[in-house]
Chains A and B, each alone.
Chain A
Amino acid sequence: MLFNSIEFLLFSLIVLPTYFLLPTRSRWILLLIASIFFYGFWKVEYLGLIFVSAITDFFCARKMAESHTKQARKPYLWLSLIVNLGLLAVFKYSNFFLDSVNQISGGHAGFNGLDLILPMGISFYTFQTLAYTIDVYRGQIVPEKNFGIFSLYVTFFPQLVAGPIERASALMPQLKAGHRFSIERVVYGFRLVIWGLFKKVVIADRLATFVDPIYAESGAYNGMILLTATFFFAIQIYCDFSGYSDMAIGLARILGVDLMRNFRTPYFSVSIGDFWSRWHISLSTWFRDYVYIPLGGNRVSRFRWNLNIFIVFLVSGLWHGANWTYVIWGALHGIYLFLENCLRPLFSRFSAVTILRPARTVICFGLVLIGWVFFRASDVNSAIFILNDISSISLAELKDMGWIFKQFGSIELSNFQEPVNVQGLRLPFNLGQFAIAVFLSIFIITVEQFYEMNVLGVKAFSIKVIPYTICVSVLLVTVVLLGYFDSNEFIYFQF
């Protein structure tokens, strides 16, 4: 079930009021039933896998609790790792592995791909359940005795398919606690849900209509158009994913559950390290706690430290998708961080200079854009081709883009559908669509940064009755009138 569907609206209209009508102690049962229904709505078959994962981790954690030494707990940790990562490997990576072997052997290996469907959100719930068993193994949490509560921790519908990836220590006590109906939480949560929906259906899905055709035939477009498409993709993936997170956090808040923040205006980062502390925070912290620190973190030699970072990003790339493009994307970010660490001593004296902050933000955004080319391209060759074209943007191409921007001043409804032609090439969008896309991209980045920095006290102002009413009504109307509801899933569902 998609958050941006009528089905989900009906689902929410039934589940949310019923939740507060039930006695506090039995609310978790409703949430569990609702979560199972939510996930099974896509494909009932998916439920089998998620419960294999849940049963294994519940059993392993219980067994670990009965063991008094780490040594005795270890076999159960391994069992959990093997089952969870095994399922992930089979369903997500087996075809990638077979394809790669075929390619390396020049087709001699002749492996046929397996006819498997990728279960929705498998990477998210696998990491969430793994975090639980690892925490139990480390003795950081006491294992849950109630399988129902544990199943709800694994399947909690607001964050099941695309995070935030929650830790058992943060989520499980909240699921068990009885929440009183709170107007404040409902009002705030509702606003967050609408804001997330706006980012998803009005901005992300709109930008997808530019990005998809251009990336599908990247060879047909010049560097400037490819750069524009990549910029739009950067905004698209941010709005798509952070929009989902906002909706998840908002829904959970209405139910009385606080989920962790997943994004913090990442495109205003001043370094790649800073970017990863603002982008998909729940995944970054997961990798920090369960991969980076066990590898030794930064308490090792300088070489090993950089290697640890590189390994983490390589794995992170692979987590995002079973394709070499994701691996390269992850490796690229690993290299960025390595270079950042090497150059830090040289530039440390400038890091505090405020005036250089915008330049650092632009450079960081540029580096992130290069990464997004690999992330979005269908294969490595296409990505290299696109980057090559972008790196050779000519003055004429810049002028053409300038010409398109000049046309914005003359847009009326009558020429809204005017096709955009550049150097005799008809672009897959019209002038009006392009103007709206540019406006929305700038709007979203600016508004969120203003809110983050609390410019002119905007945070306090936005929760006053009249501004709240105006903003939420405008957002609701915009979502319905300008939203794209025919596009399908959230980008991160595939991970």
Chain B
Amino acid sequence: METLRYKLIAMFASIIIAIAVLAFVSRKAEKRARAISVGELGKINILLDNQIHMPISFWGSSTTLVHVSPRVVDSITGSSSFNFGLDGTLFQQYSGFLKSYSEKAEPSLIVIGLNITDFHPRSQIYHPQFYTYAVSEPNVKNALSSIDPSLTWKMDMVPLYSLTLFDAEYYANLNNSGKEHSFLKGNKGYEPQYRTGFKDSEKFDYDSIEIHRPFVDDLIRKVKEVKTSGHRVVIFISPMYFKAFDHIKNMNEFNVLLDEIRLEGVPIINLFQSPLSKQKKLFYNYLHMNAAGAELFSAELSHELLPYLE
């Protein structure tokens, strides 16, 4: 290298060039990501842009996402519905979106799907890369902060930090996004799964239900907040393949918990042990139903919801 001065220039130039390239990529990625109207990112965009308000909205994790077909619900209830289920999230993670939605939407029926995993302690945000643009929304930020305050702070405050969360698949997702149908034309947020059959010997991850008390209190408090905005709230429990119960040692604790939530004035439709739970062909693993199961379950749930629509 020629002189010391040039050496220093080279080092700073490389940093500046890198920052410029990264800022450009970040801007491009954000633009593309915000234009997406399908998948997890598309759903978050819809929520951020306040695009959809329905008389019935379904909230939850993967069990809501793959179990509730708005088409079936619409046909039975005569109302319009949308499935806001987000894969891998606990109530704690999506509750920020729910709060924002309830503040902006006309009074409606909000249906929250829970499963045995919802009260497990968790210290990591699931798929944080999908929340990088949403974190500036105060309700979302508060919800994410309750899971991982340090990551949430960095996502919100550190410039270009979001790029460290994106992986090659995320960029591939951005590239593929235009090739699918948008939510508004398609399944209205529902993602049917066409897989069938799993072995009874397949590993079931939950041998006991861990109930983290702060999550329960948070759920009750937030449901009450949503109700104060004029919405009616119902909680439903999805069916689980019945052999899963053999693995769970403390099922009774979960039932006690549900009673406790009911006493707080939140109605619960418990379909845990619905007759559908006995039919293995309707599941693709212990917790999740396939498309055939989801059709039947959506019908069953819709009938249960009718009294709350009157």
Rounded to whole angstroms, the CA-CA distance of A416 and B21 in the bound complex is: 23
Rounded to whole angstroms, the CA-CA distance of A465 and B8 in the bound complex is: 9
Q: Cβ of A183 and Cβ of B158 under 8 Å apart?
A: no
Q: Can you list, as one digit per residue, whether each of B1-36 has a CB less than 8 Å from chain A (1) or not (0)?
A: 110111111110111011001100100000000000
Total A-B residue contacts, Cβ distance less than 8 Å: 92
Query: Which residues of B (147-197) have their CB < 8 Å from a CB of A?
Result: 154, 158, 160-161, 163-169, 171-172, 175-176, 179
Name the interface size band of chain B.
20 to 34
Q: Cβ of B22 and Cβ of A481 under 8 Å apart?
A: yes
Rounded to whole angstroms, the CA-CA distance of A466 and B13 in the bound complex is: 10
Chain B residue nearest in CB terms to A468: B10
Q: Cβ of A468 and Cβ of B1 under 8 Å apart?
A: yes
Rounded to whole angstroms, the CA-CA distance of A481 and B166 in the bound complex is: 7
The verdict on A465 contacting B10 (CB below 8 Å), with A473-B17, A480-B160, A484-B167 known, is: yes
Q: Cβ of B14 and Cβ of A184 under 8 Å apart?
A: no
Q: Can you list, as one digit per residue, whether each of B203-219 has a CB less than 8 Å from chain A (1) or not (0)?
A: 00000000000000000
**A406 at interface (Cβ–Cβ under 8 A)?**
no
Tell me how far the C-beta of B264 lies from the nearest C-beta in chain A, rounded to whole angstroms. Answer: 36
Tell me how far the C-beta of B74 lies from the nearest C-beta in chain A, rounded to whole angstroms. Answer: 32
Query: Which residues of A (426-452) have their CB < 8 Å from a CB of B?
Result: 430, 432-433, 436
Q: Cβ of A414 and Cβ of B1 under 8 Å apart?
A: no
Chain A residue nearest in CB terms to B25: A481
**A6 at interface (Cβ–Cβ under 8 A)?**
yes
The verdict on A183 contacting B10 (CB below 8 Å), with A6-B161, A469-B17 known, is: no
Rounded to whole angstroms, the CA-CA distance of A470 and B15 in the bound complex is: 10
Q: Cβ of B10 and Cβ of A469 under 8 Å apart?
A: yes
Rounded to whole angstroms, the CA-CA distance of A484 and B168 in the bound complex is: 10
Q: Cβ of B13 and Cβ of A469 under 8 Å apart?
A: yes
Q: Cβ of A463 and Cβ of B165 under 8 Å apart?
A: no
Picked from B9, B11, B18, B164, the residue with its CB within 8 Å of the CB of A483 is B164
Picked from B10, B158, B169, the residue with its CB within 8 Å of the CB of A417 is B169
**A476 at interface (Cβ–Cβ under 8 A)?**
yes
**A190 at interface (Cβ–Cβ under 8 A)?**
yes
The residues of A that contact B7 with a CB separation of less than 8 Å are 183-184, 187, 465, 468
Rounded to whole angstroms, the CA-CA distance of A416 and B179 in the bound complex is: 15
Rounded to whole angstroms, the CA-CA distance of A212 and B154 in the bound complex is: 27
Q: Cβ of A413 and Cβ of B172 under 8 Å apart?
A: yes
Rounded to whole angstroms, the CA-CA distance of A432 and B176 in the bound complex is: 14
The residues of A that contact B9 with a CB separation of less than 8 Å are 465
**A300 at interface (Cβ–Cβ under 8 A)?**
no
**A59 at interface (Cβ–Cβ under 8 A)?**
no
Q: Cβ of A476 and Cβ of B11 under 8 Å apart?
A: no
Rounded to whole angstroms, the CA-CA distance of A186 and B4 in the bound complex is: 11
Rounded to whole angstroms, the CA-CA distance of A415 and B160 in the bound complex is: 28
Tell me how far the C-beta of B164 lies from the nearest C-beta in chain A, rounded to whole angstroms. Answer: 4
Q: Cβ of B14 and Cβ of A414 under 8 Å apart?
A: no
Q: Can you list, as one digit per residue, whether each of A1-28 has a CB less than 8 Å from chain B (1) or not (0)?
A: 0000010000000000000000000000
Tell me how far the C-beta of A372 lies from the nearest C-beta in chain B, rounded to whole angstroms. Answer: 26
Picked from A417, A468, A477, A485, the residue with its CB within 8 Å of the CB of B22 is A477
**A464 at interface (Cβ–Cβ under 8 A)?**
yes
Q: Cβ of A469 and Cβ of B158 under 8 Å apart?
A: no
Tell me how far the C-beta of B200 lies from the nearest C-beta in chain A, rounded to whole angstroms. Answer: 17
Tell me how far the C-beta of A3 lies from the nearest C-beta in chain B, rounded to whole angstroms. Answer: 14
Query: Which residues of B (201-247) have their CB < 8 Å from a CB of A?
Result: none
**A482 at interface (Cβ–Cβ under 8 A)?**
yes
Chain A residue nearest in CB terms to B124: A486
The residues of A that contact B10 with a CB separation of less than 8 Å are 187, 465-466, 468-469, 472
The residues of A that contact B6 with a CB separation of less than 8 Å are 465
Rounded to whole angstroms, the CA-CA distance of A183 and B1 in the bound complex is: 12
The residues of B that contact A413 with a CB separation of less than 8 Å are 171-172, 175-176
Q: Cβ of A187 and Cβ of B8 under 8 Å apart?
A: yes
The residues of B that contact A477 with a CB separation of less than 8 Å are 18, 21-22, 25
Tell me how far the C-beta of B67 lies from the nearest C-beta in chain A, rounded to whole angstroms. Answer: 24
The verdict on A414 contacting B176 (CB below 8 Å), with A6-B158, A472-B14, A473-B21 known, is: yes
Rounded to whole angstroms, the CA-CA distance of A28 and B288 in the bound complex is: 59
Picked from B14, B161, B166, B176, the residue with its CB within 8 Å of the CB of A469 is B14
The residues of B that contact A481 with a CB separation of less than 8 Å are 22, 25, 163, 166
Rounded to whole angstroms, the CA-CA distance of A309 and B1 in the bound complex is: 45
Chain B residue nearest in CB terms to A484: B167
The residues of B that contact A466 with a CB separation of less than 8 Å are 10
Q: Cβ of A480 and Cβ of B163 under 8 Å apart?
A: yes
Q: Cβ of A482 and Cβ of B168 under 8 Å apart?
A: yes
The residues of A that contact B172 with a CB separation of less than 8 Å are 413, 416-417, 432
Q: Cβ of A465 and Cβ of B18 under 8 Å apart?
A: no
The residues of B that contact A470 with a CB separation of less than 8 Å are 14
Query: Which residues of A (154-190) have their CB < 8 Å from a CB of B?
Result: 183-184, 186-187, 190
The residues of B that contact A186 with a CB separation of less than 8 Å are 8, 11
The residues of B that contact A480 with a CB separation of less than 8 Å are 18, 22, 160, 163-164
The verdict on A486 contacting B176 (CB below 8 Å), with A183-B7, A469-B17, A476-B18 known, is: no
Q: Cβ of A190 and Cβ of B11 under 8 Å apart?
A: yes
Picked from B2, B154, B161, B168, the residue with its CB within 8 Å of the CB of A465 is B2
Q: Cβ of A468 and Cβ of B168 under 8 Å apart?
A: no
The residues of B that contact A436 with a CB separation of less than 8 Å are 168
Return 5 A-B CB contacts under 8 Å, by A number: A186-B11, A187-B11, A414-B179, A416-B172, A470-B14
State the 8 A-B residue pairs at the shortest beta-carbon distance, nearest first: A476-B18, A472-B14, A473-B17, A473-B14, A416-B172, A485-B164, A183-B4, A187-B7
> Beyond the given A187-B8, A465-B2, A468-B7, could you list 9 further A-B residue pairs with CB under 8 A, ordered by the A residue number?
A187-B7, A413-B172, A414-B176, A417-B169, A430-B169, A464-B2, A477-B25, A481-B25, A486-B165
